[in-house]
Structure 1
């Protein structure tokens, strides 16, 4: 079969996106129009259009379609304002990788996709491994982070040991007054605010109950940081995190995410409200902390996001890093759409630079 060669191939996780090989007639877009991900169809259509305007031939495919180094068995294109399934082999030496190899299946897919040295990922491999694993993030950046302990096995003894370990970390912490008596149980390799639980009391029993329902998930334990009054926006305090997006070692975007009422999860997928802020309005202590992290990471050509919270006592905590900042916008937010399109322009500009470098 003759393959089509692209300048860029977007490879998305099959958990979220649909293969162009789908035989279902209703699968007319990469993302289900009946789900919350419908906006992703608009965002990635714009992404491919911007690529085309900049002379880059690009296509969208999924991990289900990967068949070798830089190759896929089918792909989506966006033409004449419509998504088109193309059931032909596609190839590119430059991969915009929008999936995380956090389990055996995705690790094997990634190994196949990048099995040739000629195939280059957009995202930095080191940061991928670091930010995908919250325990690795803490181990590397512990002086900036919330104390973290991994739950390596699911029995009374090891869970009790992990609970004691996180308690000891908190007691010895210089800012221990920031931590409540509650614990956070969080998916070690998760994203989007899913599989995060606040454990209020009876730690052992509650953790076992959660793990019994989520046997395939690896968890970490953290103290709950009191932060509902730590950051004030327009004289209103609420549980808020601050995201800084970096490219080439500089902040290119910043926004805050405010949790919905009676929740502490700030993620947009969990009902958080996004508000973009100018770089000059980022608290100076957050910028100082983030610059130290960026300097330690020393990955100046990478695109990544750093998330922070400010405790009620005014202390800064690095929450987590993200090698794959979301490319989508809220259905009712013109501001979000405008700024996501700006982010896409940054990304395409870098893709263009890299494609010219390898051509």
Structure 2
């Protein structure tokens, strides 16, 4: 197709959040609508595209609704001279940086189409996404490190009671049962951002049923509430805190804590939590030990992912959840957050750059005996060599 532009890398964002560049509305001047909770993403992804440009990579940004083929979208955004530009023409690439989390059959079909050619590569690990997206699967695969979890099997009072009793049996046989309170957390099995999370008494079956009834399309898991309000000490003060470790290529490249606001147990920034970056040396040893064990099990040495932990009041570490799509945006009122987010973006851009470069021919292959080489006529004759003495 003569009008198709070939890109080195294409960012594909969830179409329910990011606007298509094919949207001709005059008010659509950037991928993320101004005045919304996602508007700060405009600066983050502009910086990502600028980082690609500094590495001489031709990059674009598309919405998942633009997907039309393998590594191909019908339109794309670029960022030049401080402005977002709509490119209402088809583009194609072999390298996708996906911020596109399939949640229904349509989404999964679009993702399958996007990667229908094996030459089209994803920066993100899809097997890891599927593991972390489903909180029950996360627990089942990493139960020795995670907070116990049971999926509610039904919506009747009887089935709810059976699920709660199953959770109590797991807690009873747990090595550290005293880490758990008599309250439970009811959580969207496939949720994110601290949304649709509720705290109830473990015997409040009617309350659980009412929440299920108010959200008929959601699947819920139940977990025990951990005693963690005095687990992590920051600057001499105890506060309910979760600890996030960001991994890339098998190594921790960034870490920070999120502290819940007064009176809340949820630490997410979306729920009013505050964020503070820490040095790796400030992370409790129990959490580092658990994270290293989990990273070894996952074995995804090239992947980008995060592991979130809680530290109980008894200094035991628990995996809260994992994530393959950590947010790249920053709090505009927090210069440290901006600086650290930009560091992460640069590392991602550098890793994508390395993946777009041709792999060098190994010296062992060049020095192999003539009869073991390819029959390509451009190989040197047996009397010749490509290797230094």
TM-score tier after normalising by the smaller chain length: over 0.9
Alignment match, 2:312:
311
1:12 and 2:13 matched: yes
State the secondary structure of the residue aligned to 1:38.
coil
* Contact 1:102 1:132 (8 Å CA) reproduced: no
State the secondary structure of the residue aligned to 2:19.
coil
Alignment match, 1:168:
169
Return the offset for 1:129.
Answer: 1.0
**Structure 2 matches for 1:143-158, cutoff 5 A?**
143-158=144-159
* Contact 2:152 2:220 (8 Å CA) reproduced: yes
State the secondary structure of the residue aligned to 1:46.
helix
Alignment match, 2:376:
none
Instruction: State the distance in 1 between where 2:210 and 2:75 align.
Output: 42
Q: 1:225 to 1:10 in 2, by over 3 A?
A: same
Alignment match, 2:209:
208
1:60 and 2:61 matched: yes
Alignment match, 2:197:
196
Q: TM-score, normalised by structure 2?
A: 0.90
State the secondary structure of the residue aligned to 2:223.
strand
Specify every segment of 5 or more residues in structure 1 that has no aligned partner in the other structure, as ranges: none
Q: Bigger radius of gyration, 1 or 2? A: 2
State the secondary structure of the residue aligned to 2:309.
strand
Deviation per residue, 1:113-152 (Å, 9 max, x gap): 1111111110112211111111110000000000000123
Return the offset for 1:200.
Answer: 2.8
- The list of structure 1 runs, each at least 4 consecutive aligned residues, that deviate by more than 3 angstroms after superposition, is none
**Structure 2 matches for 1:64-103, cutoff 5 A?**
64-103=65-104
Deviation per residue, 1:256-292 (Å, 9 max, x gap): 0101111111111111111000111111111111101
Deviation per residue, 1:271-314 (Å, 9 max, x gap): 11110001111111111111011111111111111110101111
Return the offset for 1:31.
Answer: 0.8
Aligned residues: 359
Return the offset for 1:28.
Answer: 0.9
Deviation per residue, 1:97-128 (Å, 9 max, x gap): 11222322211111111111111110112211
Return the offset for 1:201.
Answer: 5.6
Report the aligned-residue RMSD. Answer: 1.4
Return the offset for 1:232.
Answer: 0.4
